[in-house]
Amino acid sequence: MNKNKILVTGGCGYIGSHTIIEILEQTNFEVISVDNLMNSSLNTLDRIEKITGKKVKNYVIDLCNIEETEEIFKENNDLVGIIHFAALKSVPDSVFKPLLYYHNNLNSLLNLLQLAEKYAVNNFIFSSSCSVYGNVSKLPVNEQTPLSLAESPYAYTKQIGEVIIKDVVRNNDMKAVALRYFNPVGAHISGLNGENPINKPTNLVPIITQTAIGIMKEMNVYGYDYDTRDGSCIRDYIHVTDIADAHIKAMNYLIKGKNKENYEVYNLGTGNGVTVLEAIKAFEKVSGLRLNYKMAERRPGDVVAIYSDTTLSEQMLDWKTKFSIEDMMSSAWKWQQLLLEEKK
């Protein structure tokens, strides 16, 4: 049997949907999605179809329910790999709801790994995060940078998740890559798909665009006294389509047996640190608007500064980013304007 199907968990979410688009446009893989729609919408599948011309089946299933999750594997015996995005991801939310984050993010992963082993789905890509590094003493961060104490329960679920996967693939035929991405932003270049959280956004760029369009009256810049060039946090912002492309490269890397270890880790970033205030200025430049923002106290769980050394992912996965910070802001703004038009 020719296994040619990829299971994308969280496929109706921000990064998951963009990865499905790139898989359908760049490869011959068939894709199925699972998403419980906790913070996403089935409308995303219509957007994927509009961009790619292809329908994607989604299972509205909670991955924490192993019996329901197993039905996916029973119905799709031609799965060659899993790309696991599905997780709760808000750093501040996790600080106030740690039990929810530990339950959701870890149980879903355990169930997937158990079923992947049972049904011999041997190629696994894990959506990890630069938050696993915590506050670091040396920048840029590379894959050998020691992991510090996690600054939030969300970050700790990613640290634990990596350890779980590493232990599991040591003892079976599975191979796994953990992709530690920095700060995904932007929208599909068409402007037809982007980040559209059902709940109040906690990520910078949707907060910027919602403020610019008037959904939010003003926005806060959390922290004005950090030891950075303008007092605000430094992050490595990376276009969501660049991140999606890396998942395809990583999956092909495993399927073709190019991996040297059963478990490998790669950073996904641009290698450029951008402050929050610089990101705001980049948006103002491409949009021609002035944002209404104010400086506010530091937010619990935030690290001071982090950006990536991308050498290893470029060498091993043959992957390199294509989009600038201006591209990221321009595409996000195009997407936000489309959302406004759709509501009229």
Summarised one tens digit per residue, pLDDT across range 217-244 is 999 999 999 999 999 999 999 999 999 9
Summarised one tens digit per residue, pLDDT across range 94-142 is 999 999 999 999 999 999 999 999 999 999 999 999 999 988 889 999 9
Residue with tokens 């011999």: 120
Q: Which fold has domain 5-185+238-269?
A: Rossmann fold (3.40.50)
pTM of this prediction? 0.94
DSSP bridge pairs for 129:
181
Q: Give the percent of the chain with pLDDT over 70.
A: 100
Token pair, residue 187, equals 């929208």
307 included as an active-site residue: no
Contact between 158 and 231 under an 8 Å Cβ cutoff? The reply is no
Active-site pick, 101, 154, 181, 266:
154
Summarised one tens digit per residue, pLDDT across range 182-216 is 999 999 999 999 988 777 888 899 999 999 999 99
Contact between 184 and 270 under an 8 Å Cβ cutoff? The reply is no
> Which pLDDT belongs to residue 343?
80
Domain boundaries, the chain: 5-185+238-269
Residue with tokens 């634990």: 160
